[in-house]
Amino acid sequence: MSHGTVPVVARSLTGLPPRLRRRIVLTFMVTALAACLIAAALLLSRAADDRHAIEHRATEAAKALSFGFDQEVAAVNYLLKGLSKSPALLAGDIRAFYDQLKVTPVPEGSWLVLNDLERQVANTLRPFGAPLPRHVDFPNHQEQLDRIRDRRWTVSGRMLAPLKGKIVVALSLRLDDPDGQMNGHLTIALTEARLGVILDDQTRPAGWMKGLYDRKLQPIVADRDGHKGSDLPAPAALATRLADAGPDSTITGTVEARDDRGIPVLVAFRRSGTTNWTTVVAVPLADLNAPVTAALWRMAGPASLLLLAGGIAAWFTARQVEQPLRTLSDQVTGAKKQVNELSGQLLALQEEERQRIARELHDSTAQHLVAANLGLAGLQGAVVATPASRSAFAEIERQLGEALRELRIFTYLLHPPNLMQDGLQATLRDFAEGFAGRTGLVARIRIPEEVDDLSPELQRAILRVVQEALTNVHRHANATRVSVTARILSGRFIVRIRDNGHGMGGSARSDGPIRLGVGVAGMRARLEQFGGSLRIWTGRKGTSILAMVPVRGARLTLPSASRLRMPWRSRPAEVDGDTLI
């Protein structure tokens, strides 16, 4: 193996550039799309303001028309009230009152009528004494009389004047006798032409319709595209909108509808509670939505160009970074492979070194301790026996025995029974039982036979993990019990080593983080070679180590409940004040 260089792994990367290009193109396109959306939001916000301004203009126009007609009606009302106090009328001099009516200024095209309860008494359209219509000659005459009697002042709906032959509206004021009983009414007729003059006072854009409608929404006068008359019906949706409103309430609003030509329109209206007339301004929805439509068209071209430019820039960028990223990916993969190889070599060297040390300790150091113990026994007979000498010989003999026992424990830990010959199940069981027997710990071991189906390399790694864990229990945990449990579940091999010691923090540690030695790092490194992981729970009631490795090729069966009871299947560890490492 060469030194100082990172090997480059020769492999096909045909899948990488397309994925890379797609990601870069997607990034550029998302950026361009975000810019388009921001610009669209600004343009649409302004367009929405313009649309609202058009709608507001239509509503204000409907209000202004309604106010104009209300003012006209109010002026006529004052005129009729003044005439109702005429001395000639009060004295019953109808001829004198007729002469007064003839010279009274009235709106252009209008005329005055004096009525009793049966007929017209005087009409400025006819000479005094000429034959005049009776009330029964008019449709709904009784309804009109009842309204005048109840309200004292009324505004009629659309009606046809027989003497004039034109569409008019009648504004009538109740007249009473000295006893306060109604004995007639004074009326002024306003023609369609006069109302059309008021309608013309409000200008509106081409294509808009404006109109005046009576309380039954029959057209009085309307104007659309220069066509003025009383033949433009109100949109049906307006009647629905006003159906639940009170007869004398004033309502202002808008409603979307279709006009008599079937064109979608926005109808701005005001229904006056004074006259019961409704003024209408209808705006085609095409005109109302024109700002939004124009904004969308203005955005379409720049957005398309921006997205196209983003795609071209993304493609060019991907071409520029493709080769460097390919080379970098190869180098990273090669480095990772080299690290794995070095880790494997390091663990193999560690394995060989452990076996060598174990043989040296067993074959040499242990024999020297046995010889020293025998020499001490021979020396004891040649020395004058005194209480002090006997005590010294006993202490030396005890220390030599303890040293020999510790030496045998460590040599067993460093070099366990033969894995290749006995299999992982027997090796783990024998190793744990031997460890417990040498250290005086109470051990509980549950190992299923399915572990022998694992690959030899994985079996060796698991054995070393268990070995390292038990070594740490002996060295650091000060425990009295230890358990080793293994199982294969859901495609994973799981082994747990648990003790009841004082935890990895130690009884003397008061604060600061737990420091892990190289043993835990080695355990993790062995497991990570096979895609596994290591988790540790520790607290005042002991430590639990959980090693997990995926085992796709092993038989995924569990030992029977009689052979394997696993009390920790649903909980990580029974520890107090746990620390998860």
Banded pLDDT at 363 (limits 50, 70, 90):
low
Distance from C-alpha of 28 to C-alpha of 37, rounded to nearest angstrom:
14
Query: Which amino acid is it at 393?
Result: F
Q: Distance (Å, rounded) from C-alpha 149 to C-alpha 497?
A: 106
Quick one: 105 and 253 in the same domain? yes
Q: What is the DSSP letter of 562?
A: T
The pairing of beta strand 264-271 with beta strand 278-284: antiparallel
Quickly state the pLDDT bin for 173 (edges 50, 70, 90).
very high
Number of domains in the chain: 2
Task: Give tens-digit pLDDT for 336-357.
Answer: 777 767 766 776 676 677 667 7
The CA distance from 345 to 495, in Å, is 25
State the Cα–Cα distance between residues 113 and 116, nearest whole angstrom: 10
For 392-434, strand residue ranges (E) read: none
The CATH number linked to 524 is 3.30.565.10
DSSP track, 71-135: HHHHHHHHHHHHHHT-HHHHHT-HHHHHHHHHHS---TT-EEEEEESSBEEEETTS-TTS---BG
pLDDT digits (tens, 9 = 90+) for 559-576: 333 333 333 333 333 333
Domain range holding 454?
A: 424-580
Q: Does the pLDDT at position 557 exceed 80? A: no
The answer to whether residue 329 is domain-embedded is no
Give Cβ neighbours of residue 340 (< 8 Å, ≥ 6 apart). Answer: 529
Tokens at 9, concatenated: 């792994």
Within a domain: 257: yes
Q: What is the pLDDT of residues 405-442, one digit of tens each?
A: 777 666 666 665 566 677 888 888 887 888 888 788 88
Pull the structure tokens for residue 437.
């027997």
Quote the CA–CA distance of 531 and 461 in Å, as a whole number: 12
Q: Which of 254, 288, 322 corresponds to the end of one domain?
A: 288
Q: Supply the CATH number for residue 191's domain.
A: 3.30.450.20
Asked, for residue 39, whether it belongs to a domain, the answer is no
Hunting for tokens 């509503």 — which residue is that?
59
Q: Where does a domain end: 272, 288, 304? A: 288
CA-CA distances (angstroms) from residue 236 to 58, 77, 216, 217, 415? 19, 32, 12, 10, 99
How distant is the alpha carbon of residue 273 from its chain centre? Answer: 48
Domain boundary among 242, 263, 288: 288
Q: The pTM is what?
A: 0.48
List the beta bridge partners of residue 120.
Answer: 115
